[in-house]
A and B are shown apart, each in its own frame.
Chain A
Protein backbone atom coordinates (compact mmCIF):
# COMPACT_ATOMS: atom_id res chain seq x y z
CA UNK A 1 0.00 0.00 0.00
CA UNK A 2 0.98 3.62 -0.40
CA UNK A 3 1.21 5.98 2.56
CA UNK A 4 1.46 9.67 1.76
CA UNK A 5 3.09 11.58 4.55
CA UNK A 6 3.51 15.27 5.16
CA UNK A 7 6.68 15.55 7.25
CA UNK A 8 6.00 19.24 7.97
CA UNK A 9 8.69 21.84 8.08
CA UNK A 10 10.36 20.80 11.31
CA UNK A 11 11.14 17.30 10.02
CA UNK A 12 14.39 18.12 8.27
CA UNK A 13 15.48 14.48 8.40
CA UNK A 14 12.69 13.53 6.00
CA UNK A 15 13.88 16.05 3.47
CA UNK A 16 17.55 15.09 3.80
CA UNK A 17 17.12 11.34 3.65
CA UNK A 18 13.53 10.13 3.27
CA UNK A 19 14.59 6.48 2.97
CA UNK A 20 16.42 6.51 6.31
CA UNK A 21 13.65 8.41 8.06
CA UNK A 22 11.02 6.05 6.66
CA UNK A 23 13.05 3.05 7.65
CA UNK A 24 13.28 4.33 11.23
CA UNK A 25 9.52 4.87 11.23
CA UNK A 26 8.50 1.50 9.82
CA UNK A 27 11.10 -0.63 11.58
CA UNK A 28 9.48 -2.31 14.51
CA UNK A 29 5.94 -2.22 13.15
CA UNK A 30 5.14 -5.89 13.13
CA UNK A 31 3.95 -7.25 9.81
CA UNK A 32 5.09 -4.32 7.67
CA UNK A 33 8.03 -4.08 5.32
CA UNK A 34 9.16 -0.83 3.79
CA UNK A 35 9.67 -1.18 0.03
CA UNK A 36 10.51 2.39 -0.91
CA UNK A 37 10.32 6.00 0.24
CA UNK A 38 10.38 8.78 -2.30
CA UNK A 39 9.98 12.52 -1.99
CA UNK A 40 7.02 13.95 -3.88
CA UNK A 41 7.15 17.69 -3.44
CA UNK A 42 6.46 18.45 0.18
CA UNK A 43 5.13 14.94 0.68
CA UNK A 44 6.87 11.61 1.02
CA UNK A 45 5.38 8.49 -0.53
CA UNK A 46 6.04 5.30 1.36
CA UNK A 47 5.37 1.96 -0.27
CA UNK A 48 4.92 -0.68 2.38
CA UNK A 49 4.02 -4.31 2.11
CA UNK A 50 1.88 -5.96 4.73
CA UNK A 51 3.20 -9.42 5.40
CA UNK A 52 0.35 -10.52 7.64
CA UNK A 53 -3.19 -9.62 8.58
CA UNK A 54 -3.69 -7.60 11.71
CA UNK A 55 -3.23 -4.12 13.03
CA UNK A 56 -0.08 -3.23 11.15
CA UNK A 57 -1.63 -0.35 9.22
CA UNK A 58 -3.25 1.12 12.33
CA UNK A 59 0.02 0.76 14.19
CA UNK A 60 1.87 2.59 11.43
CA UNK A 61 -0.66 5.44 11.32
CA UNK A 62 -0.58 5.77 15.12
CA UNK A 63 3.18 5.89 15.00
CA UNK A 64 3.06 8.61 12.35
CA UNK A 65 0.67 10.70 14.40
CA UNK A 66 2.76 10.31 17.55
CA UNK A 67 5.80 11.42 15.55
CA UNK A 68 3.98 14.55 14.41
CA UNK A 69 3.78 13.50 10.78
CA UNK A 70 0.78 14.45 8.72
CA UNK A 71 -0.94 11.46 7.12
CA UNK A 72 -2.44 12.58 3.84
CA UNK A 73 -3.49 9.20 2.51
CA UNK A 74 -3.26 5.50 3.09
CA UNK A 75 -4.34 3.53 0.05
CA UNK A 76 -3.91 0.16 -1.52
CA UNK A 77 -1.60 0.13 -4.46
CA UNK A 78 -4.08 0.76 -7.20
CA UNK A 79 -1.64 1.01 -10.07
CA UNK A 80 -1.57 -2.45 -11.57
CA UNK A 81 1.32 -3.19 -13.85
CA UNK A 82 -1.09 -3.30 -16.75
CA UNK A 83 -2.27 0.26 -16.04
CA UNK A 84 1.30 1.41 -15.67
CA UNK A 85 2.20 -0.23 -18.94
CA UNK A 86 -0.67 1.37 -20.80
CA UNK A 87 0.06 4.76 -19.29
CA UNK A 88 3.70 4.57 -20.32
CA UNK A 89 3.34 3.06 -23.76
CA UNK A 90 -0.20 3.74 -24.87
CA UNK A 91 -0.30 0.12 -25.97
CA UNK A 92 -3.54 -1.73 -26.18
CA UNK A 93 -3.29 -5.16 -24.65
CA UNK A 94 0.02 -5.85 -26.26
CA UNK A 95 3.12 -6.10 -24.13
Chain B
Protein backbone atom coordinates (compact mmCIF):
# COMPACT_ATOMS: atom_id res chain seq x y z
CA UNK B 1 0.00 0.00 0.00
CA UNK B 2 2.83 2.37 0.89
CA UNK B 3 4.50 1.76 -2.45
CA UNK B 4 1.32 2.50 -4.32
CA UNK B 5 0.64 5.72 -2.46
CA UNK B 6 4.26 6.80 -1.93
CA UNK B 7 3.96 9.68 -4.36
CA UNK B 8 1.12 11.33 -2.49
CA UNK B 9 2.32 10.46 1.01
CA UNK B 10 5.68 12.11 0.36
CA UNK B 11 3.89 15.41 -0.15
CA UNK B 12 0.95 15.13 2.20
CA UNK B 13 2.71 13.86 5.31
CA UNK B 14 4.89 16.95 5.74
CA UNK B 15 1.94 19.12 4.78
CA UNK B 16 -0.08 17.59 7.59
CA UNK B 17 2.83 17.69 10.00
CA UNK B 18 2.58 21.49 9.75
CA UNK B 19 -0.77 21.78 11.56
CA UNK B 20 0.49 19.11 13.91
CA UNK B 21 3.34 21.44 14.86
CA UNK B 22 0.79 24.11 15.71
CA UNK B 23 -1.17 21.67 17.88
CA UNK B 24 1.97 20.47 19.64
CA UNK B 25 2.85 24.07 20.18
CA UNK B 26 6.32 23.50 21.59
CA UNK B 27 9.55 24.04 19.76
CA UNK B 28 11.11 20.69 20.55
CA UNK B 29 8.04 18.59 19.77
CA UNK B 30 7.50 20.51 16.53
CA UNK B 31 11.06 19.83 15.56
CA UNK B 32 10.57 16.11 16.16
CA UNK B 33 7.41 16.09 14.05
CA UNK B 34 9.10 18.06 11.30
CA UNK B 35 12.19 15.86 11.21
CA UNK B 36 10.19 12.65 11.22
CA UNK B 37 8.01 13.73 8.31
CA UNK B 38 10.89 15.13 6.29
CA UNK B 39 12.97 11.98 6.68
CA UNK B 40 9.98 9.87 5.71
CA UNK B 41 9.62 11.98 2.58
CA UNK B 42 13.28 11.51 1.82
CA UNK B 43 12.91 7.75 2.07
CA UNK B 44 9.86 7.82 -0.16
CA UNK B 45 11.62 10.08 -2.66
CA UNK B 46 14.57 7.69 -2.95
CA UNK B 47 12.16 4.83 -3.46
CA UNK B 48 10.31 6.81 -6.13
CA UNK B 49 13.48 7.86 -7.92
CA UNK B 50 14.56 4.27 -8.08
CA UNK B 51 11.21 3.22 -9.45
CA UNK B 52 11.04 5.98 -12.02
CA UNK B 53 14.48 5.14 -13.32
CA UNK B 54 13.52 1.51 -13.74
CA UNK B 55 9.87 1.63 -14.67
CA UNK B 56 9.32 5.05 -16.21
CA UNK B 57 6.83 7.76 -15.33
CA UNK B 58 4.60 7.13 -12.32
CA UNK B 59 1.01 8.37 -12.29
CA UNK B 60 -1.47 8.75 -9.50
CA UNK B 61 -5.08 9.87 -9.85
CA UNK B 62 -6.02 12.05 -6.90
CA UNK B 63 -9.46 11.41 -5.49
CA UNK B 64 -9.66 8.37 -7.75
CA UNK B 65 -10.78 10.57 -10.66
CA UNK B 66 -8.90 9.77 -13.81
CA UNK B 67 -7.22 12.70 -15.49
CA UNK B 68 -8.20 15.02 -17.08
CA UNK B 69 -11.39 15.05 -15.02
CA UNK B 70 -9.46 14.92 -11.79
CA UNK B 71 -6.01 16.11 -10.83
CA UNK B 72 -3.18 13.79 -11.66
CA UNK B 73 0.19 13.35 -10.06
CA UNK B 74 2.82 12.50 -12.58
CA UNK B 75 6.44 11.92 -11.72
CA UNK B 76 9.04 11.63 -14.45
CA UNK B 77 12.79 11.27 -14.03
CA UNK B 78 13.46 15.00 -13.95
CA UNK B 79 10.79 15.49 -11.31
CA UNK B 80 12.14 12.59 -9.26
CA UNK B 81 15.64 14.04 -9.41
CA UNK B 82 14.51 17.45 -8.16
CA UNK B 83 12.34 15.76 -5.55
CA UNK B 84 15.33 13.84 -4.27
CA UNK B 85 17.37 17.04 -4.09
CA UNK B 86 14.68 18.86 -2.13
CA UNK B 87 14.07 16.06 0.34
CA UNK B 88 17.77 15.34 0.80
CA UNK B 89 18.61 18.97 1.55
CA UNK B 90 15.67 19.21 3.92
CA UNK B 91 16.76 16.07 5.77
CA UNK B 92 20.20 17.53 6.26
CA UNK B 93 18.96 20.98 7.18
CA UNK B 94 16.51 19.82 9.84
CA UNK B 95 18.93 18.30 12.38
CA UNK B 96 20.98 21.42 11.90
CA UNK B 97 18.01 23.70 12.34
CA UNK B 98 17.25 22.88 15.96
CA UNK B 99 20.34 24.54 17.39
CA UNK B 100 20.50 27.32 14.86
CA UNK B 101 16.85 28.26 15.20
CA UNK B 102 17.16 28.41 18.96
CA UNK B 103 19.87 30.99 18.54
CA UNK B 104 18.25 33.07 15.82
CA UNK B 105 14.50 33.05 16.45
CA UNK B 106 12.42 33.93 19.48
CA UNK B 107 11.33 30.93 21.48
CA UNK B 108 7.59 31.53 21.16
CA UNK B 109 7.85 31.54 17.38
CA UNK B 110 9.54 28.16 17.00
CA UNK B 111 6.46 26.08 16.26
CA UNK B 112 5.37 28.64 13.68
CA UNK B 113 8.79 28.49 12.13
CA UNK B 114 8.76 24.70 11.77
CA UNK B 115 5.20 24.77 10.46
CA UNK B 116 6.20 27.24 7.75
CA UNK B 117 9.33 25.31 6.91
CA UNK B 118 7.23 22.19 6.44
CA UNK B 119 4.70 24.06 4.33
CA UNK B 120 7.44 25.45 2.16
CA UNK B 121 8.96 21.99 1.83
CA UNK B 122 5.72 20.28 0.89
CA UNK B 123 4.79 23.13 -1.46
CA UNK B 124 8.02 22.59 -3.35
CA UNK B 125 7.52 18.83 -3.38
CA UNK B 126 3.96 19.28 -4.61
CA UNK B 127 5.30 21.12 -7.65
CA UNK B 128 7.78 18.39 -8.51
CA UNK B 129 5.07 15.76 -8.77
CA UNK B 130 2.16 17.81 -10.11
CA UNK B 131 0.72 16.82 -13.48
CA UNK B 132 -1.76 19.65 -13.58
CA UNK B 133 -0.97 23.23 -14.53
CA UNK B 134 -3.29 24.79 -11.99
CA UNK B 135 -2.18 22.51 -9.20
CA UNK B 136 1.35 23.77 -9.80
CA UNK B 137 0.06 27.29 -9.18
CA UNK B 138 -1.57 26.29 -5.88
CA UNK B 139 1.55 24.58 -4.55
CA UNK B 140 3.74 27.38 -5.85
CA UNK B 141 1.73 29.72 -3.69
CA UNK B 142 1.97 27.44 -0.64
CA UNK B 143 5.72 27.45 -0.91
CA UNK B 144 5.90 31.17 -1.73
CA UNK B 145 3.69 32.37 1.10
CA UNK B 146 5.54 30.27 3.63
CA UNK B 147 8.83 31.55 2.22
CA UNK B 148 7.76 35.15 2.80
CA UNK B 149 7.02 34.29 6.41
CA UNK B 150 10.27 32.41 6.88
CA UNK B 151 12.33 35.23 5.41
CA UNK B 152 10.61 37.83 7.54
CA UNK B 153 11.70 35.94 10.66
CA UNK B 154 15.27 37.03 10.04
CA UNK B 155 16.94 39.02 12.81
CA UNK B 156 17.77 42.07 10.72
CA UNK B 157 14.93 44.49 10.00
CA UNK B 158 15.95 44.46 6.37
CA UNK B 159 14.51 40.94 6.30
CA UNK B 160 11.09 42.60 6.40
CA UNK B 161 11.64 44.78 3.35
CA UNK B 162 13.28 41.87 1.55
CA UNK B 163 10.25 39.70 2.31
CA UNK B 164 7.85 42.42 1.21
CA UNK B 165 9.60 42.97 -2.09
CA UNK B 166 9.70 39.25 -2.65
CA UNK B 167 6.00 39.06 -1.85
CA UNK B 168 5.13 41.69 -4.45
CA UNK B 169 7.41 40.25 -7.13
CA UNK B 170 6.53 36.65 -6.30
CA UNK B 171 2.81 37.36 -6.47
CA UNK B 172 3.23 39.14 -9.79
CA UNK B 173 5.17 36.12 -11.05
CA UNK B 174 2.48 33.75 -9.87
CA UNK B 175 -0.26 35.91 -11.41
CA UNK B 176 1.59 35.95 -14.73
CA UNK B 177 1.79 32.19 -14.50
CA UNK B 178 -1.93 32.07 -13.78
CA UNK B 179 -2.63 34.30 -16.75
CA UNK B 180 -0.55 32.10 -19.02
CA UNK B 181 -2.33 28.99 -17.82
CA UNK B 182 -5.65 30.80 -18.30
CA UNK B 183 -4.84 31.59 -21.92
CA UNK B 184 -3.84 27.99 -22.52
CA UNK B 185 -6.98 26.76 -20.82
CA UNK B 186 -9.08 28.98 -22.99
CA UNK B 187 -7.62 27.56 -26.17
CA UNK B 188 -7.68 23.93 -25.08
CA UNK B 189 -10.25 23.52 -22.34
CA UNK B 190 -7.97 21.49 -20.13
CA UNK B 191 -5.39 21.90 -17.40
CA UNK B 192 -3.75 18.51 -17.35
CA UNK B 193 -0.29 18.92 -18.80
CA UNK B 194 -0.32 15.84 -20.99
CA UNK B 195 -3.77 16.58 -22.28
CA UNK B 196 -2.63 20.14 -22.93
CA UNK B 197 0.30 18.96 -24.98
CA UNK B 198 -2.02 16.83 -27.11
CA UNK B 199 -4.60 19.51 -27.63
CA UNK B 200 -2.11 22.13 -28.66
CA UNK B 201 -1.70 20.04 -31.81
CA UNK B 202 -5.39 20.17 -32.69
CA UNK B 203 -6.93 22.65 -35.10
CA UNK B 204 -8.17 25.92 -33.67
CA UNK B 205 -11.63 27.38 -34.24
CA UNK B 206 -10.99 28.72 -37.75
CA UNK B 207 -9.96 25.28 -38.97
CA UNK B 208 -6.75 26.53 -40.58
CA UNK B 209 -4.18 27.23 -37.92
CA UNK B 210 -3.29 24.64 -35.35
CA UNK B 211 -3.86 25.78 -31.77
CA UNK B 212 -0.18 26.14 -30.99
CA UNK B 213 0.23 28.74 -33.69
CA UNK B 214 -2.50 31.05 -32.42
CA UNK B 215 -1.51 34.37 -30.94
CA UNK B 216 -3.14 33.35 -27.70
CA UNK B 217 -0.77 30.47 -27.12
CA UNK B 218 2.21 32.62 -28.04
CA UNK B 219 1.11 35.24 -25.54
CA UNK B 220 0.53 32.47 -22.99
CA UNK B 221 4.07 31.21 -23.45
CA UNK B 222 5.52 34.66 -22.99
CA UNK B 223 3.53 35.19 -19.79
CA UNK B 224 4.61 31.81 -18.48
CA UNK B 225 8.23 32.60 -19.30
CA UNK B 226 8.19 35.93 -17.52
CA UNK B 227 6.32 34.53 -14.53
CA UNK B 228 8.65 31.59 -14.09
CA UNK B 229 11.77 33.62 -14.77
CA UNK B 230 10.79 35.87 -11.89
CA UNK B 231 10.67 32.82 -9.66
CA UNK B 232 13.89 31.38 -11.05
CA UNK B 233 15.55 34.78 -10.48
CA UNK B 234 16.88 34.68 -14.00
CA UNK B 235 18.96 37.74 -14.77
CA UNK B 236 17.68 40.54 -15.11
CA UNK B 237 14.64 39.52 -13.06
CA UNK B 238 16.74 38.62 -10.05
CA UNK B 239 16.46 41.78 -7.96
CA UNK B 240 14.49 40.19 -5.15
CA UNK B 241 16.93 37.39 -4.47
CA UNK B 242 20.08 38.88 -2.88
CA UNK B 243 18.32 40.48 0.06
CA UNK B 244 16.07 37.50 0.61
CA UNK B 245 19.01 35.14 0.95
CA UNK B 246 21.08 37.65 2.85
CA UNK B 247 18.66 38.48 5.64
CA UNK B 248 16.68 35.27 6.06
CA UNK B 249 17.60 33.07 9.04
CA UNK B 250 20.61 30.83 8.25
CA UNK B 251 18.54 27.68 8.00
CA UNK B 252 16.15 29.31 5.57
CA UNK B 253 18.92 30.69 3.37
CA UNK B 254 20.50 27.26 3.16
CA UNK B 255 17.22 25.51 2.39
CA UNK B 256 15.96 28.05 -0.15
CA UNK B 257 19.21 28.49 -2.00
CA UNK B 258 19.48 24.75 -2.46
CA UNK B 259 15.87 24.10 -3.46
CA UNK B 260 13.52 26.95 -4.38
CA UNK B 261 15.06 28.15 -7.64
CA UNK B 262 15.63 24.53 -8.66
CA UNK B 263 11.95 23.77 -8.43
CA UNK B 264 11.17 26.88 -10.48
CA UNK B 265 13.54 25.56 -13.13
CA UNK B 266 11.58 22.34 -13.10
CA UNK B 267 8.38 24.29 -13.83
CA UNK B 268 10.27 25.81 -16.72
CA UNK B 269 11.03 22.35 -18.07
CA UNK B 270 7.42 21.33 -17.58
CA UNK B 271 6.14 24.21 -19.67
CA UNK B 272 8.64 24.03 -22.48
CA UNK B 273 9.17 20.31 -22.73
CA UNK B 274 6.20 18.47 -21.33
CA UNK B 275 3.44 20.86 -22.35
CA UNK B 276 4.78 22.66 -25.33
CA UNK B 277 7.52 20.37 -26.56
CA UNK B 278 5.41 18.26 -28.89
CA UNK B 279 3.87 21.21 -30.68
CA UNK B 280 6.89 23.43 -31.00
CA UNK B 281 10.27 21.90 -30.30
CA UNK B 282 12.02 24.05 -27.76
CA UNK B 283 14.91 24.97 -30.03
CA UNK B 284 12.48 26.29 -32.63
CA UNK B 285 11.14 28.89 -30.22
CA UNK B 286 12.67 32.33 -30.60
CA UNK B 287 12.84 32.14 -26.83
CA UNK B 288 15.59 29.54 -26.84
CA UNK B 289 17.82 31.90 -28.76
CA UNK B 290 17.23 34.77 -26.39
CA UNK B 291 17.40 32.72 -23.23
CA UNK B 292 20.97 31.50 -23.50
CA UNK B 293 22.49 34.97 -23.92
CA UNK B 294 20.48 36.23 -20.95
CA UNK B 295 21.55 33.28 -18.87
CA UNK B 296 25.22 33.64 -19.71
CA UNK B 297 25.16 37.41 -19.31
CA UNK B 298 23.55 36.82 -15.93
CA UNK B 299 26.30 34.39 -14.98
CA UNK B 300 29.02 36.90 -15.76
CA UNK B 301 27.37 40.03 -14.38
CA UNK B 302 26.17 38.41 -11.17
CA UNK B 303 29.60 36.89 -10.52
CA UNK B 304 31.10 40.29 -11.08
CA UNK B 305 28.71 41.94 -8.61
CA UNK B 306 29.44 39.17 -6.11
CA UNK B 307 33.07 40.20 -5.95
CA UNK B 308 32.09 43.60 -4.59
CA UNK B 309 29.81 42.36 -1.83
CA UNK B 310 30.86 42.98 1.74
CA UNK B 311 28.35 40.61 3.23
CA UNK B 312 29.11 36.92 2.85
CA UNK B 313 25.50 35.88 2.46
CA UNK B 314 24.83 38.52 -0.19
CA UNK B 315 27.96 37.40 -1.98
CA UNK B 316 26.73 33.83 -2.04
CA UNK B 317 23.30 35.02 -3.16
CA UNK B 318 24.77 36.75 -6.21
CA UNK B 319 26.80 33.66 -6.90
CA UNK B 320 23.52 31.71 -6.85
CA UNK B 321 22.13 33.97 -9.57
CA UNK B 322 25.22 33.23 -11.63
CA UNK B 323 24.86 29.50 -11.08
CA UNK B 324 21.20 29.61 -12.11
CA UNK B 325 22.52 31.17 -15.30
CA UNK B 326 24.61 28.04 -15.97
CA UNK B 327 21.62 25.78 -15.45
CA UNK B 328 19.36 27.79 -17.74
CA UNK B 329 22.18 27.99 -20.26
CA UNK B 330 22.45 24.22 -20.31
CA UNK B 331 18.71 23.81 -20.64
CA UNK B 332 18.51 26.56 -23.25
CA UNK B 333 20.89 24.65 -25.51
CA UNK B 334 17.98 22.25 -25.99
CA UNK B 335 20.20 19.27 -26.66
CA UNK B 336 20.30 16.08 -24.63
CA UNK B 337 23.79 16.91 -23.42
CA UNK B 338 22.80 20.46 -22.52
CA UNK B 339 19.74 19.32 -20.58
CA UNK B 340 21.79 16.72 -18.80
CA UNK B 341 24.40 19.26 -17.75
CA UNK B 342 21.69 21.66 -16.61
CA UNK B 343 20.00 19.02 -14.46
CA UNK B 344 23.29 17.75 -13.09
CA UNK B 345 24.36 21.24 -12.19
CA UNK B 346 21.02 21.70 -10.48
CA UNK B 347 21.82 18.71 -8.29
CA UNK B 348 25.41 19.73 -7.64
CA UNK B 349 24.62 23.35 -6.98
CA UNK B 350 22.22 22.25 -4.26
CA UNK B 351 25.13 20.38 -2.65
CA UNK B 352 27.62 23.23 -2.80
CA UNK B 353 25.35 26.15 -1.97
CA UNK B 354 23.75 24.11 0.78
CA UNK B 355 27.20 23.44 2.22
CA UNK B 356 28.30 27.06 2.04
CA UNK B 357 25.15 28.52 3.55
CA UNK B 358 25.13 25.93 6.33
CA UNK B 359 28.77 26.69 7.08
CA UNK B 360 28.04 30.42 7.16
CA UNK B 361 25.19 29.56 9.52
CA UNK B 362 27.75 27.94 11.85
CA UNK B 363 29.79 31.13 11.73
CA UNK B 364 26.72 33.20 12.46
CA UNK B 365 26.02 30.97 15.45
CA UNK B 366 29.38 31.90 16.98
CA UNK B 367 30.04 35.38 15.63
CA UNK B 368 26.52 36.67 15.17
CA UNK B 369 26.90 38.54 11.89
CA UNK B 370 28.00 38.11 8.31
CA UNK B 371 29.96 41.20 7.29
CA UNK B 372 33.11 40.00 5.62
CA UNK B 373 35.56 42.33 7.34
CA UNK B 374 34.37 41.23 10.76
CA UNK B 375 34.95 37.55 10.00
CA UNK B 376 38.72 37.87 9.93
CA UNK B 377 40.46 34.69 10.99
CA UNK B 378 37.25 32.99 12.04
CA UNK B 379 38.15 29.92 10.01
CA UNK B 380 41.32 29.36 12.01
CA UNK B 381 39.33 28.70 15.13
CA UNK B 382 36.49 26.73 13.59
CA UNK B 383 38.36 24.03 11.65
CA UNK B 384 35.47 21.88 10.43
CA UNK B 385 33.41 24.85 9.36
CA UNK B 386 36.42 26.21 7.53
CA UNK B 387 37.02 22.87 5.84
CA UNK B 388 33.40 22.84 4.68
CA UNK B 389 33.76 26.32 3.23
CA UNK B 390 36.94 25.31 1.42
CA UNK B 391 35.30 22.26 -0.12
CA UNK B 392 32.09 24.10 -0.95
CA UNK B 393 34.02 26.99 -2.45
CA UNK B 394 36.20 24.69 -4.53
CA UNK B 395 33.10 22.98 -5.81
CA UNK B 396 31.55 26.34 -6.63
CA UNK B 397 34.55 27.28 -8.74
CA UNK B 398 34.60 23.86 -10.36
CA UNK B 399 37.95 22.56 -9.16
CA UNK B 400 38.55 18.99 -10.38
CA UNK B 401 37.58 16.20 -7.99
CA UNK B 402 34.56 18.15 -6.78
CA UNK B 403 30.95 17.84 -7.85
CA UNK B 404 31.01 21.32 -9.35
CA UNK B 405 33.70 20.25 -11.78
CA UNK B 406 31.68 17.37 -13.13
CA UNK B 407 28.69 19.47 -14.08
CA UNK B 408 30.65 22.45 -15.32
CA UNK B 409 32.69 20.13 -17.53
CA UNK B 410 29.47 18.63 -18.82
CA UNK B 411 28.14 22.10 -19.57
CA UNK B 412 31.29 23.12 -21.42
CA UNK B 413 31.30 19.98 -23.54
CA UNK B 414 27.64 20.50 -24.34
CA UNK B 415 28.23 24.11 -25.35
CA UNK B 416 31.26 23.21 -27.46
CA UNK B 417 29.39 20.36 -29.12
CA UNK B 418 27.06 23.02 -30.46
CA UNK B 419 30.03 25.04 -31.59
CA UNK B 420 29.14 28.08 -29.51
CA UNK B 421 32.58 29.34 -28.62
CA UNK B 422 31.54 32.70 -27.25
CA UNK B 423 29.32 31.13 -24.67
CA UNK B 424 32.00 28.68 -23.64
CA UNK B 425 34.46 31.52 -23.14
CA UNK B 426 31.94 33.49 -21.08
CA UNK B 427 31.25 30.46 -18.89
CA UNK B 428 34.97 30.16 -18.23
CA UNK B 429 35.25 33.89 -17.53
CA UNK B 430 32.42 33.65 -15.04
CA UNK B 431 34.17 30.71 -13.35
CA UNK B 432 37.37 32.72 -13.10
CA UNK B 433 35.49 35.52 -11.39
CA UNK B 434 34.13 32.87 -9.03
CA UNK B 435 37.74 32.09 -8.13
CA UNK B 436 38.16 35.71 -7.10
CA UNK B 437 35.19 35.88 -4.75
CA UNK B 438 35.76 32.48 -3.23
CA UNK B 439 39.39 33.40 -2.67
CA UNK B 440 38.21 36.57 -0.99
CA UNK B 441 36.16 34.64 1.53
CA UNK B 442 38.93 32.16 2.18
CA UNK B 443 41.53 34.88 2.47
CA UNK B 444 39.55 36.76 5.08
CA UNK B 445 38.52 33.72 7.06
CA UNK B 446 41.71 31.67 6.97
CA UNK B 447 44.73 33.83 6.25
CA UNK B 448 43.90 37.06 8.03
CA UNK B 449 44.37 37.03 11.79
CA UNK B 450 41.68 37.57 14.34
CA UNK B 451 41.64 41.12 15.67
CA UNK B 452 43.78 41.40 18.77
CA UNK B 453 41.85 41.01 21.96
CA UNK B 454 38.84 39.22 20.50
CA UNK B 455 37.86 36.20 22.51
CA UNK B 456 38.63 32.75 21.30
CA UNK B 457 35.90 31.08 19.29
CA UNK B 458 34.86 27.50 19.62
CA UNK B 459 33.72 25.23 16.82
CA UNK B 460 29.96 25.38 16.29
CA UNK B 461 27.83 22.79 18.15
CA UNK B 462 27.99 19.20 16.96
CA UNK B 463 24.42 19.22 15.69
CA UNK B 464 25.36 21.94 13.26
CA UNK B 465 28.87 20.94 12.27
CA UNK B 466 28.12 17.31 11.47
CA UNK B 467 25.37 17.98 8.88
CA UNK B 468 27.44 20.76 7.34
CA UNK B 469 30.53 18.63 7.07
CA UNK B 470 28.61 15.66 5.71
CA UNK B 471 27.13 17.81 3.00
CA UNK B 472 30.58 19.16 2.23
CA UNK B 473 31.95 15.63 1.90
CA UNK B 474 29.09 14.78 -0.45
CA UNK B 475 30.56 17.38 -2.82
CA UNK B 476 33.68 15.22 -3.01
CA UNK B 477 31.72 11.99 -3.05
CA UNK B 478 29.71 13.00 -6.09
CA UNK B 479 32.76 14.56 -7.66
CA UNK B 480 34.99 11.50 -7.42
CA UNK B 481 33.23 8.30 -6.52
CA UNK B 482 29.58 8.28 -7.29
CA UNK B 483 28.22 8.68 -10.80
CA UNK B 484 24.61 7.95 -9.91
CA UNK B 485 23.57 11.60 -9.93
CA UNK B 486 24.98 11.95 -13.43
CA UNK B 487 23.18 8.78 -14.49
CA UNK B 488 19.90 10.09 -13.11
CA UNK B 489 20.38 13.42 -14.87
CA UNK B 490 21.15 11.62 -18.13
CA UNK B 491 18.04 9.49 -17.77
CA UNK B 492 15.94 12.55 -16.98
CA UNK B 493 17.25 14.43 -19.99
CA UNK B 494 16.67 11.42 -22.22
CA UNK B 495 13.12 11.05 -20.93
CA UNK B 496 12.30 14.70 -21.61
CA UNK B 497 13.71 14.55 -25.12
CA UNK B 498 11.98 11.28 -25.85
CA UNK B 499 8.68 12.69 -24.70
CA UNK B 500 9.01 15.51 -27.17
CA UNK B 501 9.84 13.12 -29.96
CA UNK B 502 6.86 10.91 -29.33
Question: Are A and B genuine complex partners?
Answer: no
B interface residues, Cβ below 8 angstroms from A: none
| Partner-B contacts on A (CB < 8 A) | none
